């Protein structure tokens, strides 16, 4: 799937599913998740320690493997957004947003003239080093296309953002939203209390605003029961777990294997019992 197909699927009422990597640095990770059936992959540059060169490699392999690469941004400035886009990223997750003007600034950075102030280099990975520009004498059609394609997801994880949800979602170019429950709980003054009614109240306010503004509802999910309920409520953009959660699940399996070995200790000959230590 590429960004055009992902957009088309959402516009037709379909659902897309992706995952996030925070620590994995293998440049083939996008290929692996594409083979596993995911539509998009998020590279966490807020909490992860990736440098630009690592991201550029992983983004390139992801696109060649048929999975859409997004960046969860860690630093808000023109150069950061521009360089990720030039490397081939198809969009961004915007954490820590509080007001509409912050999103408006991002839109200016990521769009070419006349919609924004992004610098134009027709010899970069995002345009296949110029080979994707069909008309070499007139680049306007290509620039208009790129302005339309960048996918923007606002992450609601501050009480200010929840309060300002209608003005934020009024900004032209927002495609979806996700909640940020950990930071949101802290912003609401209930750190770590994920079951607090205020958390449900906040997400309901955001998702209701999505329906009013015709923006597809997205969210993070880590278990099937909550995911089923969210899908019934209109969830289309599914952020399913992270690389760390997959590894933690494997650790639980290892623990169970050790329990099985311990229970069957009697079957080991005396001289080999040291393998359980």
Which pLDDT band holds residue 253 (cuts at 50, 70, 90)? confident
Token pair for residue 180?
């940020």
Does residue 268 lie in a domain region?
A: no
Cis peptide before 114 (omega within 30 of 0): yes
Whether the pLDDT of residue 62 is over 90: the answer is: yes
Residue 253 lies in a domain: no
271 confidence band (pLDDT: 50, 70, 90)? low
Residue 219 CB-half CA count within 13 A: 22
The answer to whether residue 266 sits within a structural domain is no
What pLDDT score was predicted for residue 66? 97
Higher-confidence position of 233 and 101: 101
Do the domain assignments include residue 275?
Answer: no
**DSSP 3-state helix, strand, coil percentages of the chain (rounded to 5)?**
50, 15, 35
pLDDT at 264 over 80: no
Q: Residue 63 is part of which domain span?
A: 3-246
- For the chain, what is the domain count? 1
Tokens of 261: 């070995």
Does any domain span residue 39? yes
pLDDT digits (tens, 9 = 90+) for 218-228: 999 988 988 99
Per residue in 25-41, pLDDT tens? 999 999 999 999 999 99
Region 181-207: mean pLDDT is 96
pLDDT greater than 60 at residue 272: no
Confidence of residue 7 (pLDDT cuts 50, 70, 90): very high
Whether the pLDDT of residue 74 is over 70: the answer is yes
pTM, full prediction: 0.92
Query: What pLDDT is attached to residue 51?
Result: 95
Q: How confident is the model at residue 12 (pLDDT cuts 50, 70, 90)?
A: very high
Check residue 157 and give its pLDDT: 97
Given a cut of 70, whether residue 270 has pLDDT beyond it is no
Residue 215 structure tokens = 């923006």
Query: Where residue 11 sits, what CATH number does that domain have?
Result: 3.20.20.60
Q: Long-range contact list for 113-119, CB < 8 A, 24+ apart?
A: 113/143, 115/147, 116/147, 117/78, 118/81, 118/82, 118/85, 119/82
Asked if residue 199 belongs to a domain, the reply is: yes
Q: Does residue 142 sit within a domain?
A: yes
What pLDDT, on a 0 to 100 scale, did the predictor assign at position 268? Answer: 54
Residue 81 · residue 110 · CB < 8 Å: yes
pLDDT value of position 28: 96
Q: Are 115 and 146 in contact (CB under 8 A)?
A: no
Does the pLDDT value for residue 169 go beyond 80?
yes
pLDDT band at 2 (very low <50, low <70, confident <90, very high): very high
Residue 254 lies in a domain: no
């Amino acid at each position: 799937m590429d960004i055009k197909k992902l957009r088309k699927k959402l516009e037709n009422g379909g659902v897309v599913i992706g995952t996030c990597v925070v620590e994995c640095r293998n440049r083939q990770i996008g290929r692996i998740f594409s083979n596993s059936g995911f539509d998009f992959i998020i590279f966490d540059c807020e909490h992860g320690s990736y440098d630009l060169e690592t991201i550029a490699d992983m983004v390139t392999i992801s696109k060649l493997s048929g999975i859409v690469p997004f960046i969860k941004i860690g630093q808000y400035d023109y150069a950061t957004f521009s360089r990720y886009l030039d490397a081939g990223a198809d969009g961004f997750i915007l954490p820590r947003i509080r007001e509409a003007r912050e999103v408006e600034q991002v839109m200016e950075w990521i769009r070419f003239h006349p919609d924004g102030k992004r610098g134009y280099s027709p010899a970069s990975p995002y345009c296949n080093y110029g080979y994707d520009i069909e008309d070499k004498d007139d680049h306007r059609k290509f620039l208009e296309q790129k302005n339309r394609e960048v996918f923007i997801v606002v992450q609601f994880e501050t009480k200010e953002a929840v309060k300002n949800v209608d003005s934020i979602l009024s900004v032209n170019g927002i495609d979806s939203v996700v909640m940020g429950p950990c930071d949101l709980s802290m912003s609401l003054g209930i750190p770590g209390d994920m079951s607090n009614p205020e958390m449900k109240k906040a997400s309901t306010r955001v998702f209701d605003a999505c329906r009013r503004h015709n923006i597809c509802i997205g969210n993070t999910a880590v278990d099937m029961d909550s995911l089923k309920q969210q899908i019934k409520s209109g969830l289309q953009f599914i952020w399913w777990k992270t690389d760390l959660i997959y590894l933690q699940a494997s650790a639980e399996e290892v623990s169970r294997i050790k329990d099985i070995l311990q229970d069957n200790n009697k079957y080991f000959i005396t001289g080999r019992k040291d393998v359980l230590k």
